[in-house]
Amino acid sequence: MGTSWSARIVGAPPACGQAIEAVLSRVIAQMSNWEADSDISRFNRTPVGQWMELPAEMGGVLRAGLEMARLSGGAFDPAVGRIVDHWGFGPAGVTPAATIASHAAPWTAIELEGGRARRLADVTLDFSGIAKGYAVDAVAAALRDLGTANFLVEIGGELAGQGIKPDLQPWWVDVEAPPGLPLPTLRIALCGLCVATSGDYRRFREEGATRLSHSIDPVTGAPIANDVASVTVLHESAMMADAWATAITVLGPERGMALATRAGLAARLIRRVGTAGQEYMTPALTAMLD
């Protein structure tokens, strides 16, 4: 998945390391666009209109992604792979514009029926905005199955906290402001909660004097240009926190935070204003910090 993972486990049984590796290997085998033989890569090569049986986990993530696309009006789109590749953020590198299917809402060209799915147009799945969060949830579930009650799991900066530390303190996590922006660090306690952050400083590409964000707006078919520096979302599910952070980033300060507020999410958005940063918080997050 192009990132690292870590886990802090109180009273960890000997099998923890192997259990975590097994979960991550399974997620990669099913949902990594960077693996040619993964299930998602095979799905993206199937002829348009042909059904393919999906592994249960991949099917669950796709179902969640399609629901998030519906809730966000397409700001989150699990079928945005062609556009991601075109802008150089996929495994194929920069691809010609001609390879992008002229489909206004790629996610609507994916049909899911039971345990199988098919493409109704030449769009491709890309789970980069949801699979990492799912992996955090899956690792946490595996640890609970082993009988562990107190742990902190992290994959690429997305975290899930359960229980408490040996000193009886909660798992305190600092969410830093984007580099160079003079804003305070947000400190949160992860007790049965997960947190995910989407930021323009994590992955980007420079094209001449233009800095291209890896966050793609499926509606415009281009990287976002709304000055959003980062979005942090707290949720009981890391997968949903991951997807919501992506959607809010794409929608921007006004529409994104309005949607987050209506959904009752605890979320923070930081917008670049010159060399400074402007912070937005939803009522749910403000209440948690009071």
For the segment 129-173, what is each residue's pLDDT rounded down to a tens digit?
999 999 999 999 999 999 999 999 999 989 999 999 999 999 999
Residue 146 domain-assigned?
A: no
Asked if the structure places residue 136 within a domain, the reply is no
**Residue 1: inside a domain, yes or no?**
no
Q: Are residues 86 and 189 in the same domain?
A: no
pTM of the model: 0.92
* Position 144 in a domain: no
Query: Could you tell me the CATH number of the domain that includes residue 259?
Result: 3.10.520.10
State whether 170 and 251 are in the same domain. yes
88 band by pLDDT with thresholds 50, 70 and 90? confident
Is 115 found in the same domain as 232? no
Residue ending a domain, choose from 95, 119, 143: 119
What pLDDT is recorded for position 98? 46
* 114 found inside a domain: yes
pLDDT, averaged across the chain: 91
Q: Are residues 88 and 190 in the same domain?
A: no
Co-location of 113 and 157 in the same domain:
no
Residue 125 lies in a domain: no
Looking at the domain assignment, is residue 210 inside a domain? yes
DSSP labels for 45-100?
HSPTT--EE--HHHHHHHHHHHHHHHHTTTSS-TTBHHHHHHTT-STT-S--GGGS
Shared domain for 211 and 88, answered yes or no, is no
Structural domain of residue 225, as residue ranges?
Answer: 152-289
To the nearest whole percent, how much of the chain has pLDDT over 90?
A: 74
Residue 112 shares a structural domain with residue 176: no
Is residue 140 in a domain?
A: no
Residues 199-242 have pLDDT tens digits of 876 655 555 555 566 788 888 888 888 889 999 999 999 999 99
Tell whether 85 and 163 lie within a shared domain.
no
- Quick one: DSSP state of residue 107? G
Predicted confidence band of residue 177 (pLDDT cuts 50, 70, 90): confident
Whether 99 and 181 map to the same domain: the answer is: no
Q: Are residues 106 and 53 in the same domain?
A: yes
pLDDT at 251 over 50: yes
Q: Is the pLDDT of residue 12 over 60?
A: yes
Do residue 161 and residue 282 come from a single domain? yes
Helix axes 56-71, 238-262, angle to 10 degrees: 10
**What's the pLDDT at 92?**
67
* Residues in CB range of 197: below 8 A, 6 or more apart: 157, 158, 175, 230, 231, 232, 233, 245
Task: Indicate the number of domains in the chain.
Answer: 2
Residue 243 and residue 164 in one domain: yes
